[in-house]
Every structure is written in C-alpha cells, then in structure tokens.
Structure 1
Amino acid sequence: MSTKLLKATEAKIIKNLMELGLPATEAKIYLALAYLGSASAGELEKRTGIQRPHAYKALNKLEKRGLIEREISTPTIYRAEFPEKTLATLIAQKKVEIIKLERNLQLLLRQIKLHRKSSQILRLKDNEYRFIIITGLSNIIGKLKEA
C-alpha cells in the first residue's frame, strides 16, 4: 500500500473513531496502538507526532474507557484492545448517550406542552373545532383577520 493511500486510510479511520466519540488525539493514539500492537508513550510520540504530555492524557482517557490496557514496566507499555471489542465499547457508549438524549427530548417536549400557550381555534378533524379563550382586543382582532 502506498504511503499516500495509507495516510488517507488512516485519516478515514481516525474520522470514524471521532464519530464514535473519541477526540482526535485519542483516535490517533488508539489507531497507532492498534497498528503497532503495543508501544511506549515515546514510541507513540514518534509515530503520531503527538507530544508526550498530550499522549499520556490521551492514554489515560483511553484506559479509563477500556479501550487500551497498560503494562506495568519500564517504560510503561500500552496495548490496544481488539478492534472488535473497542468498536463494540464505543458503540455501546454512543447508545447510552442516545438513550440520555431521547429521555431529555421527552422531558423537554413534556415541558413545552405544559407551557405552550394556545391562542387560536384549532381545527382537529373535518368539522371538529376546539374553542380557546382569546384575551386582549389586539389578539381578538388578529385572530379575526386570520380567519
């Protein structure tokens, strides 16, 4: 595979990892680990160009997410979990986020419905109407003009 094609493939994979919720730095570090199998922070810095302090932050976050594991050694060695497990973990985390968003949406919709001011006659079905009290002369005139 040519270097240009490899870079384009890596960029696409990083983009996909970001869509699954990883920040760019974490996505680059994870991909490098997935390619290398295992590496130290220094090796990752050389491979990705990400400065070591930033690499350590990303490694810690990836470890907390359960996407990599750390070997206690000198230097510390990091290993990427199997991609199948990693992707399943990221998708599961996204599903949890979606469930939270759906709950928040339902709550928001209920709150809006409770506070919504109906100030017009609503046509329900064919010739069915609901009558609503309209207060204020300007509102009444406005509704008459709309009718």
Structure 2
Amino acid sequence: MTYGSGMVRRNDLGFVRYVVGRLEGAGVRAWVFGGWAAELLGLSAPRAHGDVDLLYPADGFAVVDEFLARGDVQEIEAKRFPHKRAFEIDGIMVELFLVQADGAGSFTDFWGVARHDWPADVFAVEVDGLRVASAMAVTGYRAGWEDLQSKLQGR
C-alpha cells in the first residue's frame, strides 16, 4: 500500500510504521502512544483507530516545525500548541506530544497550567521493531486524564 498519495487510507499498522519512518527520516524520533500503543502492548484488543498518537522527547518542536514547513503533510494549525503538533497524511490525523526533561524526570507541560510526569521507563519499550511508550506511561496517562482535564478547564 502506498501512503502519502492524498488518498484516504486505512489507519493500520503499516500506516503507523510509515508515519514513524517518515518522521525518523526527517530527524524526528517518536514513540507510539495512545490507542496504538495500548494495542501493541496488549493492553487493549485490536480495534479501528481514528488517529496516531506519538510521544516526541525533545526540548522543543524546532525539528518538527522544519518537517511541517516543507509542506508535504497537511499541518492541523488548530492543534498547534506549546505541547503538541498535529498533521494529516491521507486523511489520518497524527499528533505529536512534546516530552521534555528536567531534574525531576520526563514531563509534558500543558500550557503552563498542568504538568504530566511520565514514568522513568516511558521510552524503554520496543514492540515488533517500533518504539512504543511503556505500559506504565499509557495506563498512567489514561488514569490521570480526568484530573488533567479539570486543571485545563480554568486555563
């Protein structure tokens, strides 16, 4: 199957591999997160996926922004935030969440209002040749979702 053709494609594992590989080719090392990570880790049954979520460990989005500036993917400007970038390939949304590090460990800063701390093993897992966020990272984020949302309501 050819991706990046402008045609609507299925969000299957081949597509996830394509996206990760394309980002890697642009200097963006990302880890599969969200529903795809849960499925790859055996935390959820296989299902249809609406998007691809990725974690991006870096100090900022400079390299990602260079990739987006090329114009060969469709950036979703409404999702351009200090902690996130998003784009579409073949009608499928891809979201990159910035994961920074400080003396306390890895974290994502949501608008300076809420900090999500990632477990120490967040980037220690590989499944079938793909870098995948750890089970603790996936389940911990899900468990803290409502609390995070309540903090963000007042921003």
Q: Same fold (TM over 0.5)?
A: no
Report the TM-score range of the alignment, normalised by the length of the smaller protein.
under 0.3
Which has the larger Rg?
1
Higher percent of residues as helix = 1
**Structure (1/2) with the larger strand percentage:** 2
TM-score by length of 1: 0.27
TM-score, length-normalised on structure 2?
0.27
